[in-house]
Amino acid sequence: MSQNSQIAAEVRRRRTFAIISHPDAGKTTLTEKLLLFSGAIQIAGAVKGRKASRHATSDWMEIEKQRGISVASSVMQMLYREHVINLLDTPGHKDFSEDTYRVLTAVDSALMVIDAANGVEAQTKRLIEVCRQRNTPILTFVNKMDREVRDPLDILDEVERELGMPCVPMTWPVGQGKHFGGIINLRTQAMTVFEAGSERRPQDFETLPLAQADALRARFGHDWDTALESMELATGASPAFDRQAFLAGKQTPVFFGSGVNNFGVMEVLDALVDLAPPPGPRKSHLLTQGQTVERVVQPDDGFFSGVVFKVQANMDANHRDRIAFVRVASGQYQPGMKLKVQRTAKELRPTSVVTFMSQRREAVDEAYAGDIIGFTTHGGVQLGDTITDGTVALQYTGLPFFAPELFMTVILKNPLRTKQLQMGLAQLGEEGAIQVFKPEMGGPMLLGAVGQLQFEVVQHRLKTEYDCDVRLEGCPYTGARWISADTPAELRAFCDAYPQRLARDAADALAYLCTSPYDVRLAQERFPKIHFHPLREHA
Ligand code: G4P
C-alpha cells in the first residue's frame, strides 16, 4: 500500500466527536458506558470526580479539581468495530463555554444528550448554535427513559424547534419510567427489551422481532399500542433518513435510551461508526511567495499538519509548562518528527509528545487526521496555532474567540512584580483562560471574559503560579468588537476619533471597547465603512 493510501485507510476508520449537553443530562454516565463496551485504547485520565466538575463553584479547590479533571479526561480514544473513535471532553461549567466552543472546532460530529424530562436546556442551546454555525452533524440521544419523562413526540417537537432541523427517529421507546419496556429499532424492526442494571452488556438484552406483534402486545399491553401509534405519527411526520442531509447538518437521527442502564447506548455507538463522518478536508491559507491563497487540505495529504485547539496549564504549579492539544488535520504523526509553529516559523522541540493512539502494548505511536496529540510546551505556542512538519507553509482558520461581555482592570499590588504580571497575563491569554487587552493609550491591562468564574481562576493562578497579587476592579466596558477596515486611511480616521476606546488583544488584534449596546451602533453610523466583528477567528 502506498503511503497516501495507507493514510487514507486510517482516516476512513476514524470518528472524532464531542458530547454536548446541559449539566446533569448524563454526559459522564454515557461516556463511561461508551468506554465500557468499546476497547478503550487510551484515556487521558479516568472519567472521575464528576461531582467536582458538575458543582464547580467559586471555591478554589473546586476550580483546581475542575482544571485537573479537564486535563485528565480531555481526550478518550476507543476502538470499536475496527474504528478508532476519539471522544473529546467539553468543560461542564457554563463560565468556561469558550473552551467548549473551541473543542467543537476540533470534532467532526457532535452527540447531543438530552434529559427526557427536561428537554433541550439552556446550555445545550448555546452549544447547538456553535454546531449549527459550522454545520457539524448532530446525533441526538434522549436519555433517562427509565424515569417519568415527557412524551417522546413532545421531545422531538422541541428538538426540531431548537435545532431548526427535522428529527429522524432511529429507535422509539415503548413506555417510560416504571413502565419502560424497551426500544424499537426502526432499522432492524426489532424490539430490545429493557432491564435495569448498570453492568449489563448490549448482548444481555432480549431482542424480539416486531413480526411477533401479538406476543409483544400481550407482554407490553397498552404501552405497546401507544408506542406504535406515536411511532407512526413520528415517522409519518419526519423525512426518511438521508445521510447527505445529516452530514450537512440538516437533519438529526434520534435515539432513546437510558445511559445509566447501558440501554440504547450501543445503537448510538453504531450510528457513530455507520453514519457520522470521518475527518474531512479543512480550509487553510497557504503562504506562497509572499502571497496568501486559500487552500483546502485533504486529510490524506502526505504532509503532517494540525491545529492547537486547547492549551492547558499543568496541574503542578511549580512547573510552568503547559500541554498543547493538536487536532491532526492531515498526514501522519510519528514520534521524533520535527514540528514547526507556522506563526513564528520556530521549530518545536517538545520534551514529550503524548499520543492517545497506541493501540498495542509496544506503543506504535502514530496519529492521523482526527486524532489528537498533546505535547508539553514552555511558551511559544498559542491557541489557534498551526503546527506542521515544516514541509508546507499554511495556516488554518476558524478557531473562534468571542467578544467578552465582562471586563475588569488588573491592579498589581506590588509594582515590582510588573514583569511577572506581564508574563502571566501573556501566558494565560495564550491559553485562552481569559482575554487580555492592552489599552492603546496606556494604563492598566484589561481582562475580558465570557463567564465570571474566569476572573476568579485567573486571579488565583496569577498568585499561585506567578506570585502576583492582583486586585481586579470593575470598569465601564460591557463589550468589545474587533475592528477592521478596507483601507488604512479609514482605519486611521476611526482610531483618531476613538483613541481612548481602543485596545489590542493577545494576538495584537485591534478592538473597540463599548460601554453600552448603542455604542457600536453609533460608531457604525459615524463610520459606515468600519467592520465591527463580535467574533475573531484566529488567522
Ligand atoms: P453530566 O455528566 O451530564 O452532568 O451527568 P451525569 O452523567 O453525571 O448524570 C447526572 C445524574 O443523572 C447522575 O445521578 C446519573 O446517575 C443520572 N443518570 C444518568 N443517566 C441516567 C439514566 O438513564 N437514568 C436515570 N434514572 N438516571 C441517570 P446522580 O444521582 O446525580 O449521581 P450518581 O450518584 O448516580 O453518580
- pLDDT tens digits along 185-200: 999 999 999 998 876 7
Tell me: the pLDDT tens digits for 389-448? 999 989 998 777 888 989 999 999 999 999 999 999 988 888 888 999 999 999 999 999
Quick one: pLDDT at residue 23? 84
Question: Whose C-alpha lies nearest to ligand 1, atom 34?
Answer: 51
What does the alpha-carbon distance between residue 341 and residue 437 come to, in Å, rounded to a whole number?
24
E-assigned strand segments in 44-123:
75-80, 83-88, 109-115
Contact 107, 463 (CB under 8 A): no
pLDDT over threshold 60, residue 538: no
- DSSP element (H, E) containing 12: helix 3-12
Query: What residue type is 424 in one-letter code?
Result: G
| CA nearest to 307, candidates 279, 277, 335 | 279
Gyration radius (Cα) of the chain, Å: 25
In the prediction, which pLDDT does 319 show? 62
Secondary structure of residue 525 in the 3-state scheme: helix
User: What burial class does residue 39 get, using C-beta atoms within 10 Å of its C-beta: 0-12 exposed, 13-18 middle, 19+ buried?
Assistant: exposed
Are 19 and 113 in contact by the 8 Å Cβ rule? The answer is: yes
For ligand 1, what atom is nearest to the CA of residue 92?
4
Cβ of residue 22 lying under 6 Å from some atom of ligand 1: no
Smallest CA separation from ligand 1 atom 25, residue? 144
Residue 175 has pLDDT above 70, yes or no: yes
Q: Which of 35-44, 223-232, 263-272, 529-538 has the lowest mean pLDDT?
A: 35-44
416: cell is: 515590582
Name the β-bridge partners of 387.
306, 341
Tell me, using a 6 A CB cutoff, whether residue 143 lines ligand 1.
yes
DSSP 215-245: HHHHHHHHHHHHHHHHHHHHHHHSPPP-HHH
Residue 233 predicted with pLDDT over 50: yes
CATH 3.40.50.300 location in the chain: 14-74+91-275, 282-396
Please provide residue 189's backbone torsions phi and psi, each rounded to the nearest 5 degrees.
55, 50
Taking CA atoms only, the protein residue closest to ligand 1 atom 16 is 260
Please state the rounded mean pLDDT for residues 59-77. Answer: 55
Lowest mean pLDDT among 207-216, 281-290, 291-300, 302-311: 281-290
If DSSP codes are grouped into helix, strand and coil, which group holds residue 106?
coil
Pocket test for ligand 1, best of 29, 145, 262 (most atoms within 8 A of CB): 29
Of 21, 24, 178, the residue with max ligand 1 atoms within 8 A of its CB, to mutate for a pocket test, comes to 24
> pLDDT at position 39, please?
61
Over residues 34-63, the mean pLDDT reads: 51
**Residue for grid cell 434522549:** 142
Rounded to the nearest angstrom, the distance between the alpha carbon of 138 and the centre of ligand 1 is 22
Does 260 contact ligand 1 (Cβ within 6 A)?
A: yes
* Ligand 1 atom at shortest distance from the alpha carbon of 25: 3
DSSP 8-state class, residue 115: E
Residue 53 has pLDDT above 50, yes or no: no
Locate cell 503542578: which residue? 316
Name the pLDDT band for 41 (thresholds 50, 70, 90): low
What distance in Å separates the CA atoms of residue 429 and residue 68, rounded to the nearest whole number? 19
Residue 61 — very low, low, confident or very high, per pLDDT cuts 50/70/90?
very low
Q: Are 337 and 389 in contact (CB under 8 A)?
A: yes
DSSP state of 132: H
Ligand 1 within 6 A of CB of 29: yes
Query: Among 66-75, 129-138, 173-182, 237-246, whose mean pLDDT is lowest?
Result: 66-75
pLDDT band at 203 (very low <50, low <70, confident <90, very high): confident
What is the spatial order of strands in the sheet that 291-297 belongs to?
A: 291-297, 282-288, 394-396
pLDDT(92) > 80: no
**What 3 state SS string does 145-165 have?**
CCCCCCCHHHHHHHHHHHHCC
Indicate whether residue 50 lines ligand 1 (CB < 6 A). yes
Mean pLDDT score, 238-244: 95
Amino acid at 302: G
Best CA proximity match to 112, nearest among 143, 76, 152, 66? 143
pLDDT (tens digit, 9 = 90+) per residue, 242-275?
Answer: 999 999 999 999 999 999 999 999 999 999 999 9
CA of 314 to the centre of ligand 1 (A): 29
For the chain, how are helix, strand and coil distributed in percent, rounded to 5? 35, 30, 35
Q: What number is the average pLDDT over the span 195-222? A: 88
**Residue 350's pLDDT band (boundaries 50, 70, 90)?**
confident
Residue 310, Cβ density class (10 Å: 0-12 exposed, 13-18 middle, ≥19 buried): buried
Q: Does the structure show a pLDDT above 60 at 362?
A: no
What's the CA gap between 434 and 458, in Å, rounded? 7
Specify the pLDDT at position 314: 62
At residue 54 the predicted structure's pLDDT band, cuts being 50, 70 and 90, is very low
Residue 145 CA to ligand 1 center (angstroms) comes to 12
Q: With contact defined as beta carbons under 8 Å apart, do 435 and 400 qualify? A: no
Q: Tell me the percentage of the chain whose pLDDT exceeds 70.
A: 88
Indicate the pTM of the whole model.
Answer: 0.86
Per-residue pLDDT band at 128 (split at 50, 70, 90): confident
Predicted confidence at residue 528, as pLDDT, reads 95
CATH superfamily for domain 282-396: P-loop containing nucleotide triphosphate hydrolases (3.40.50.300)
Where is the binding site for GTP, in residues? 21-28, 89-93, 143-146
Q: Residue 199's Cα: distance from chain center in Å?
A: 29
370 or 37, higher pLDDT: 370
Mean pLDDT, the chain, integer: 86
Report which ligand 1 atom has the smallest distance to the Cα of 21: 3
Nearest to 59 by CA among 453, 424, 449: 453
The answer to whether residues 191 and 208 touch, using CB atoms and an 8 Å cutoff, is yes
Is ipTM beyond 0.95? yes
CATH fold of 400-537, please?
A: Alpha-Beta Plaits (3.30.70)
Q: What angle do CA 285, 280, 140 make, to 5 degrees?
A: 125
What is the distance between the alpha carbons of residues 82 and 103, in angstroms, rounded to a whole number? 25
pLDDT at 14: 97
Do the Cβ atoms of 19 and 110 come closer than 8 Å? yes
Say what the pLDDT of residue 42 is. 55
**Cβ–ligand 1 contact at 119 (below 6 Å):** no
pLDDT at 317: 57
What is the percent of the chain with per-residue pLDDT over 90, rounded to a whole number? 58
Query: Exposed/middle/buried for 164, CB within 10 Å: 0-12, 13-18, 19+?
Result: exposed
The structural architecture, per CATH, of the domain 14-74+91-275 is 3-Layer(aba) Sandwich (3.40)
* Cα gap 512→495, rounded to integer Å: 9
Residue 62 has pLDDT above 60, yes or no: no
What is the distance between the alpha carbons of residues 248 and 468, in angstroms, rounded to a whole number? 48
| Mean pLDDT score, 453-471 | 90
Ranges for all domains in the chain classified under CATH 3.30.70.3280 = 400-537
- pLDDT bracket for residue 16 (50, 70, 90): very high
| 354 contact partners, CB below 8 Å, separation of at least 6 | 44, 323, 373, 374, 375
